[in-house]
Amino acid sequence: MILKPSLALCIPAYNAAQHLPRILMSAKNQEIPFDEILVYDDCSNDNTKDVAESYGAKVIKGKINEGCSFGKNELAAYAKSDWLHFHDADDDLLPNFTQEIHQWIEKNGNQYQVLLLNFRYVNFKSNLVLGEANHNVDAMHADSLKYAIEHKIVNFGVYKKEDLIKAGGFDLDKKVLYNEDNAFHIRLATNGLKFDYLPKITCINYQYEESMSASNRLNCAKANYYVLEKAVKNSGKKYPIELASALLDVATILAAENDWKYVKKALNLSKQTYSKIKFKGSNSFKLLSLINPLFGYWMREKLIRFFKPSLRK
């Protein structure tokens, strides 16, 4: 008798008692049950553990607050299932989730180790749909690592546990904390894992005004810099143009946040990675940046703040 591959829902949680009922009810209402529903309680101050257990989830309790990446690695180590899906406690699953995933595993699970998922991006307060993931599957198949470098892949995926563990799981380096999903997918691709994409929407990603990314743009940009710094070290000779371009994009965000120390670091690393990278923007900006990149970014930011201050509120 051939056993069907098993699937675990892994939820890292910190003070998530108010959100857990929604995601756990969605998990329980799947047509094909999850083989495991696991919650990692990262030393919450509320009743996260009690709420999770009341909905039938198995709770792994942390001893000290270590952060999301540590919790995901603990969930991966604890899970007995063949495939893992990590899901933030404040997002949601659609009723078709497990059915679609099992169909994909049966068809493609021997060829790929990572399945990226499409999701609907929704404003939590207004319920307004803001967009979808819409990954380019052809580019992904052609080169998973190149794709991971060029796109910030967020935490909507299904992963073959055995290969995830071999690749080292989530990066626990505190410098990449605010960009851990991007660091994770680049690490998986660097270790040779192959990516596929399921275009049918199976998840809801809620936008919150108080979310970590929305309220910590500077920390996210700094973390992205360190993710790319590691990628340059590991893959800079193979993908110099892609990495140099990504660093220029990070420099733009850092300039908007007025962190000129890190703008300089990003520009310098971009130049070291690929000295002939082309700057993106107006002709005057490109000319200034060719002469002096830091001055070009500084001048553009000053002009934006003077002529279009609404963009920096």
- The per-residue pLDDT for 212 is 58
The answer to which of 173-177, 267-271, 308-312 has the lowest mean pLDDT is 308-312
**Looking at the predicted structure, is the pLDDT value of residue 150 above 70?**
yes
What integer is the mean pLDDT of 186-208?
96
Model confidence at 146: pLDDT above 90: yes
Burial class (CB in 10 A: 0-12, 13-18, 19+), 141: middle
Report pLDDT for 283. 95
Whether the pLDDT of residue 214 is over 80: the answer is no
Distances from the Cα of 61 to the Cα of 38, 41, 301, angstroms: 11, 5, 46
pTM of the model: 0.94
- Give the tokens for residue 279: 């700057």
pLDDT computed for residue 311 by the predictor: 79
Q: What is the mean pLDDT of residues 232-238?
A: 97
Residues near 303 by beta carbon (within 8 Å), at least 6 away in sequence: none
Mean pLDDT over each residue of the chain, to the nearest integer: 95
User: How far, in Å, CA of 69 to CA of 227, rounded?
Assistant: 14
Residues near 51 by Cβ (< 8 Å), separated by ≥ 6? 17, 20, 21
Model pLDDT, residue 215: 63
- Judge contact between 80 and 99, C-beta under 8 A: no
65-111 pLDDT tens trace: 999 999 999 999 999 999 999 999 999 999 999 999 999 999 999 99
- Which residues are CB-contacts of 240 (< 8 A; sequence separation ≥ 6)? 273, 274
Mean pLDDT, rounded, for 198-205: 96
SS3 159: strand
Domain ranges of the chain: 7-213, 216-312
The Cα 92–Cα 206 span in angstroms is 8
pLDDT given at position 309: 85
Q: How confident is the model at residue 300 (pLDDT cuts 50, 70, 90)?
A: very high
Q: CATH top-level class for 7-213?
A: alpha beta
Percent of the chain with pLDDT over 90: 92
pLDDT (mean) for 145-174:
96
Reported as a pLDDT band with limits 50, 70 and 90, residue 211 is low
Note the pLDDT tens digit of each residue in 8-35.
Answer: 999 999 999 999 999 999 999 999 999 9
- Residues across the chain: 313
Q: What does the H/E/C string look like for 22-75?
A: HHHHHHHCCCCCCCEEEEEECCCCCCHHHHHHHCCCEEEECCCCCCHHHHHHHH
- Buried residues in 234-272 as b, exposed as e (16+ CB within 10 A): ebbeebbebbbbbbbbbbbbbbbbebeebbbbbbebbee
